Each structure stands twice: as C-alpha cells, then as structure tokens.
Structure 1
Amino acid sequence: MNKQEQISSVQMTILFLFYLTGSSIVIIPAPLTNVAGNAAWISLLIALILGMLLLTGILYLYRRFPHQSLIEYSGSLLGRGWTVLLFIPFVCVMFWHVAGIVIEIGAFFKTTMLKESPTYAVNALLFVTIALTVRAGIEAIARMAPLLLILMFGFIFLVCVLVANLYHVEYLLPIVPSGIGPIFHAAYIAYGFPYAELVVFAIILPCIRPKDAPNVRKHLYFGLAANGATLLLSIICSIMVLGPLSGDLKYSLYQLARLIFIRETIERIESVIGFSLIVGFYFKASILLFILVRSVSHLLKLSNERLIVFPVAFVCLLLSLTTYTNEATLEEIVNTTWPLLNNVAYVCPMLLLIVAALLRRRGRKMNGDG
C-alpha cells in the first residue's frame, strides 16, 4: 500500500458499489419496513435522492482538487489547525464504524451459522483477514472486487427469482399505511446509513488514474443508482414474501433464501446467500479500514501507511468486543444515533468544505474582475 497506487474509474466504482451495498443489503430492509411498513421503498427513494445530492458535492470538490484527498484539500481551504480539529471526530467515528461492521458480521454468524462460536474468535479472525487485505493495497483490493461483486449480486438476484412463487403483490397495499411521518423517519435512517457514509470515499478518489478522471462522475452516479435499485428490489421482495413480518425478521434476504424449495432439488441454499452476504460485509470493512488508515496517515503526516494497519485494526477489534454488547441497544443505535453521528462527523465537514471552496472561488473571480 503506497501513495503511488492507482486504479481505474471503473474499479473505483466497483469498490464504491461494494462499500454502499456490502452491509446495507443485509441490514437496511428490516428497519425500514419496521418503521415505514409498505412505504419503505418510498423512504429509500428519498434517501437515494439525498445521496445523489451529497455525491454531487463530493464530485465538485474532487474536480477542484483532483490530486488531493478530503483531508489534504481541507488543509488548503481551512488551514492545518482547523483541519485537525474538524477531522478528529471524523476519524473517531470511522473507528467506531469499522468495529460496527465487524460486529454485524459476527452477529450474522452467531445468529445463522456459527451459533456456538465465541464472539472474540470470530471477530479476531475477521480483523486479521481484513488487515491483511488492506496491507495488500488498493490495487489488489480492486482486482479482487469484480468477481466477488458478481457473485454477491448474482446470489441476491437468484434468491429474488427463486422465491417468485411466494410473492403476494397484495402485501404491498396500502402503500402509505401510517401517513408520511414514518416515511420520513425511515428515509432519515436510510440516508444516515448508507448514504451519509459515502463522504469517506473522498479520501481515496485521488487514487483514480488521471486519464480516467473525466469518467468518474458518470461511473459513480451509476454505482449509486445500482445500489439504490438493489436495495429497492430487496425491500419490495421482502414485503411481498414476508408481509407484515418483513419488519420484524432480521437479515431479510437470508430469511427469503430459507424459504426456497423447488421439488426437493433446490432447497436449503441459505448458506450460499449467507456466503455472498458475508463477502459484502468483508469487502466493506476492508475498504473502510483502508480509508481509515489513509485518513490517520494524512492527519499524522506519516510516510508509510503500512506501519499502522495492524495497530488500527487492533483498536477496532477492541472496540468491536467492548461496544454494542446489547442487541436491543445496537438496534436503537442503528435507527437513531448512527444516522445522526454520520451527519455530524461526515456530512457537516463536507458541507463546510464545499462552502469554503465556493467562497474562495467567488473571491478569486471578484479579484480577477477587479
């Protein structure tokens, strides 16, 4: 892993799609349908629009500072002191974020497959694997991603097709069962997770090869739209199969896979979909840990990022073993606290930098006119 590593805009889009979809495809359908009922898909569309607006701001700053990360051009716009003050919470929340992803993987394992395995063993194994992936560098991660992305999305769509005989379109009605209040509440949840989190990708956008920079805008918009379509499909399929239970059962796609039974030849394929969902979790955690390591490196002005990969991963491991110990508390955090933290720690610094960049550009134009 070094600063000279570069990838294409298509590879960056694949990582972007993996990052947005990796854990949200497992977690998002249940809380959204629990809050908004049949209108969960409307909430997702609202959140997706907000995500598009946020991505527009990120790409604006990338066009202004194509060779600098979010932290680096913050130093140019605000100065070193304000940048450190602004991005300490940013990095702290990212530590918590990486730990939260691994906790969710561990919870998925404990709930579905490895019920007798101790949490510390599962989390430690995951963090060793993730840290080794990050040490391999972004080019190696980008080369791994396409095949695993195809497998993950292929299994997701396969499950949606194989449960088609269980669909009940009438479960989608009434469209707005409880008014617009729950719709906006669910949209707040979906915007906070995963769309507010895409701000961290501004740290690694400079890894795109300069010759591919003109294409990154359309590619990332496509990736965001693909993520929205996939989440929308999973929510609608869950509602049509599970009905009122879709908001109460965690890991909706896994629950759908358990219902597949075709003439005693295709059944019990939940382990396959489970594998694809775990791959999504793993890749998101790897990408975010890479971004976290790079952020810490930029803040501390380190010349070799490899030196801090395992220490950072170890801190995240400790957080994963000491926080979110109560499942009910974890659910409350995902639905209320986490979206707020993401907006304060991720979105607010981005908006501040956008305003600073616009004011500086306006000032330069006025001086030029003068």
Structure 2
Amino acid sequence: MAWGMGAVYLACILYLYRKNPERSLLESARRAFGKLPAGALMLPFIVLMFWNVAGIVSEIGLFFKSTMLKETPTSVVHALMFVMIALTARAGIVVVARMSALLLALMIAFIFIVLIMVSNLFQPEFLLPLLPSDTGAVFRAAYIAYGFPYSELIVFAFILQLVRREEASKVGKHLYIALAVNGLLLLLSLVCSLLVLGPLTGDLKYSLFQLARLIVIREFVERIESVIGFSLIVGFYFKATILLLILVRTVVEWLNLRDERLFTLPVAFVCLLLSITTYTKESSLNEMVNVVWPLLNNFCYVLPMLLVVAATLFRRRKRP
C-alpha cells in the first residue's frame, strides 16, 4: 500500500515534468498561483527539509552509537558526516550521480551477499500467520512506510529539470524501475529478516545488521556485519546529500539568489545544529519517524505538490 502511494506521487511528479520540463516545483507553483502565494506555499516545505536532513544524519549518529562507535560523541559523528555531505553537495549533482553509480551498486551487492549467506537459517514457520488478528496493524505499518520513505519522493520534483533534454523521454521509465527495485529490495529484506529473526524482527533496530552478525562459516568468515554497516552508511550518506542539494537549490530559488555553492556550507551548518539539539533521544526520534513524520510530509510535501498538479491541470483544461 505504501509503495502504491509512492507510485501515485511519482506519476504526479512526472506529469508536472512533462508539462514544464525546465521548471522545478517552485517555478511551477509560481506559474500557477503567482510569486507570493507560491512562496508562502513552499515555506513549510523548506522548513521541513531542514528537519529532514538533520534527522537523516541523526539516524547515522544513532547507528554508530549503538553498533560501532559506542564511546564516540554523536556530535563528532554528525560534524564529520555533515562535512562530507556538504562538500559532496557543493560539488554538484553530476559528481553525486557519478559517485552513486559505483557505491550504490556495491551497497546492493553487499545486501544480496548477506541475504544469500544467511539463507541456511531460514525458518518458514516464522511467516505464519500471514495476517494478524488486528488488520489495523497492517494499515498502521503501511502508514509508517508511506511517510518514510515513499511520501518523500516529492523532493525529486525540484531536480528533474536538470535532466538533459535528450534523456527526457527516458526519465519516467528509469524512475519507475528505480521505485520497483526499491520496493522489491525492501520487501526482500523484511521477509528474510522475518524468516531468521521471527518475532524479534519488530524489536531489533537495523535488522539486516543483526542478520549479518549471525553469519559464521567455519570460524573463517565472521564479523561480516561491517559490510552491512557500510551499506547503511552509504544509503544515509547519499540520501542526506541529495536532500541537502535540493534544499540549497530551493532556498536559493525561493530567495531569488544565484550562487548555490555559496549557501551550501551555511545551510549544512544549520542542519548540523538541528541534528545535535533536536534529536537527542532515540525514543523521540522513533516517535518522530513513526507518528509525526508521515503527517508532516502530507502537509509540507504532498499537499503543495497536489495543489500545483491540480492548478496545472485546471489551467490546461481552461485553455481553448
């Protein structure tokens, strides 16, 4: 259900892209509503983007704190991550794309290697019953997965105009393939975690990391969880980098400025302060992701996009 909502939002984003291939969501909003109403409509989006980038880096800090670097202050981890993220975002979208071609391929390969190596521990009875007695739990889980990550697909509406014109016809196909790979990989990881960990899956954080800890082959191959740690860090790193890049572009565009590179480090510093001062407890971060975040995404991400889509469709029908 969450993946289906993501596919609907992706269709809306691609509709706007086809109608205005050289305009971001903010520019499309200005064309539909005017400059001042569009600026007011996008202000919550910009504010939430600051919290979003800060929350991702906070998740990296909590991962290190609970697994690898238990004695290292989280502020140090946050600062080092933001330095890398800011420098990568400052280098531009082309550099991010070239880096991701290799690192994301390694990330996916490591995940499949771990899932194959842990397959001897599968216990199919852990998949039963297929549905709990309270079917509302399914909808609550779909609500959480919808809020994180599928409702966040809206942010791509701010960078699709960077696609080269000769590649514009392939954008929709590539994005739907990426979304399908994302959904299948997430589903496969969840099913494999259930097959091995059973009821503990819902109580353990970073279930793939916990699966990798169980791999021991003749006391020769062990402690393989480091490759999953690498995969998680790469995923967090690229997501935070892309969101920071979009945030800087949106702030510069919203303020009618020109130089994006000049604002990358100040925006990253504000996000660093938010990550250190806001997400100080793991329990509060979990509540934020599971309860508050889907609601905020609906009002700050989804609603502005739907309004722009409706206005664009209405203007098109109104024309003779």
> For the superposition of Structure 1 and Structure 2, which TM-score range results when normalised by the shorter chain?
over 0.9
> For this pair of structures, how many residues does the alignment match?
320
Deviations 1:88-119 (A, max 9, x none): 10000000000000000010011110111011
Q: Which of residues 295, 300, 317 is equivalent to 1:340? A: 295
- For 2:298 and 2:192, the matched residues in 1 are separated by 29
> Counterpart of 1:68 in 2: which secondary structure?
coil
RMSD in angstroms over aligned alpha carbons?
A: 0.7
Instruction: Determine the structure 2 residue equivalent to 1:168.
Output: 123
- For 1:119 and 1:235, the matched residues in 2 are separated by 28
Instruction: Determine the structure 2 residue equivalent to 1:109.
Output: 64
Correspondence 1:326 to 2:306: no
- For 1:244 and 1:132, the matched residues in 2 are separated by 42
Instruction: Determine the structure 2 residue equivalent to 1:21.
Output: none
User: Post-superposition shift, 1:136?
Assistant: 0.7
Correspondence 1:152 to 2:152: no
Q: Which of residues 25, 43, 50 is equivalent to 1:88? A: 43
Which residues of 2 match residues 281-360 of structure 1 at below 5 A?
281-360=236-315
User: Post-superposition shift, 1:73?
Assistant: 1.1
The residue type equivalent to 1:341 in the other structure is L
Instruction: Determine the structure 2 residue equivalent to 1:26.
Output: none
Q: Which of residues 183, 189, 202 is equivalent to 1:228? A: 183
> Counterpart of 1:267 in 2: which secondary structure?
coil
Instruction: Determine the structure 2 residue equivalent to 1:42.
Output: none
The residue type equivalent to 2:272 in the other structure is L
User: Post-superposition shift, 1:333?
Assistant: 1.1
Correspondence 1:60 to 2:15: yes
Q: Which moves more between the two structures, 271-280 or 52-61?
A: 271-280
Instruction: Determine the structure 1 residue equivalent to 2:139.
Output: 184
- For 1:177 and 1:184, the matched residues in 2 are separated by 11
Instruction: Determine the structure 2 residue equivalent to 1:243.
Output: 198
Correspondence 1:269 to 2:224: yes
Instruction: Determine the structure 1 residue equivalent to 2:34.
Output: 79
The residue type equivalent to 1:269 in the other structure is I
- For 1:59 and 1:213, the matched residues in 2 are separated by 10
The residue type equivalent to 1:213 in the other structure is A
User: Post-superposition shift, 1:179?
Assistant: 2.8
Q: Displaced runs of 4+ in structure 1, greater than 3 A?
A: none
Q: Which of residues 77, 90, 99 is equivalent to 1:122? A: 77
Structure 2 length-normalised TM: 0.99
> Counterpart of 1:271 in 2: which secondary structure?
helix
> Could you list the runs of 5+ residues in structure 1 that have no partner in the other structure?
1-45
Structure 1 length-normalised TM: 0.86
Deviations 1:109-145 (A, max 9, x none): 1111011101111100110110000111111111111
User: Post-superposition shift, 1:180?
Assistant: 1.7
The residue type equivalent to 1:342 in the other structure is N
The residue type equivalent to 2:287 in the other structure is E
Deviations 1:267-319 (A, max 9, x none): 11111211121011111110110000000011011111011000000000000
- For 1:347 and 1:276, the matched residues in 2 are separated by 29
Instruction: Determine the structure 2 residue equivalent to 1:260.
Output: 215
- For 1:286 and 1:245, the matched residues in 2 are separated by 32
> Could you list the runs of 5+ residues in structure 2 that have no partner in the other structure?
none
> Counterpart of 2:184 in 1: which secondary structure?
helix
- For 2:186 and 2:230, the matched residues in 1 are separated by 18
Deviations 1:30-53 (A, max 9, x none): xxxxxxxxxxxxxxxx11111101
> Counterpart of 1:116 in 2: which secondary structure?
coil
Deviations 1:194-229 (A, max 9, x none): 000010110000010001001111110000000000
- For 1:147 and 1:303, the matched residues in 2 are separated by 31
- For 2:147 and 2:105, the matched residues in 1 are separated by 26
